[in-house]
Amino acid sequence: MILIFMGPPGAGKGTQSKLVEKEFNIPQISTGDILREAVANQTEMGKKAKQFMDAGDLVPDSVVIGIIADKIQTDECVNGFILDGFPRTLDQAKALDVLLKGNHKDVSHVISFEVADEELTNRLLERAKIEGRADDNIDSIKNRLDVFKQKTQPLIDYYRATGKLVSIDGLGEIEEIFARVKKAIG
């Protein structure tokens, strides 16, 4: 089972991925988490990514595609995985198609989490108080929402055309949304 979780920042992709990971025993691959770890460890990749992440801009496609290419070939991914926050651009989606094809694999479902902007901003500002993420400040949040609309939203049409897209309401209790996710993935 290969799942793609799409949605604006704060839509609940990370929370829901972790629940799916536990219940279905397939790993969550979060490009955001991998990049944050690289920044914390001050690796070459982390040093390159930091300025983009702090501003709420996308890290260059080549960097994130490289992360995914390495990750999906690991043993822990043989039974499937959940992509949380990747792809975010059309070029990333096309690169993913090529990577999967090369591994004789295919996307099972694309779940799009729908949440209104105002709710997203409130959630991210709340998260800032708890997690202290460098990019959960009002300027970066605004930019991330814009970037989502400009660069990632077009992917919804791309995946709708494959017949694999399921849009779900991202508003409600975590368990309630998890039930919607489970229904979507069957």
Give the Cα separation of 183 and 161 in Å (integer). 21
Binding of ligand AMP at residue 93 (CB under 6 A)? no
Catalytic residue among 18, 48, 71, 133: 133
Shortest CB 10 distance to ligand AMP, Å: 8
Of 49-57, 70-78, 99-107, 158-166, which part binds ligand AMP (CB under 6 A)? Answer: 49-57
Instruction: Return the ∠ at Cα 46 (arms to 115 and 95), rounded to 5°.
Output: 60
Catalytic residue among 18, 127, 160, 180: 127
- The verdict on whether 123 is a catalytic residue reads no
Residues taking part in catalysis: 13, 88, 127, 133, 144
What residue ranges bind ligand AMP (CB under 6 A)?
9, 31-32, 35, 52-53, 56-59, 64, 85-86, 88, 92, 135, 144
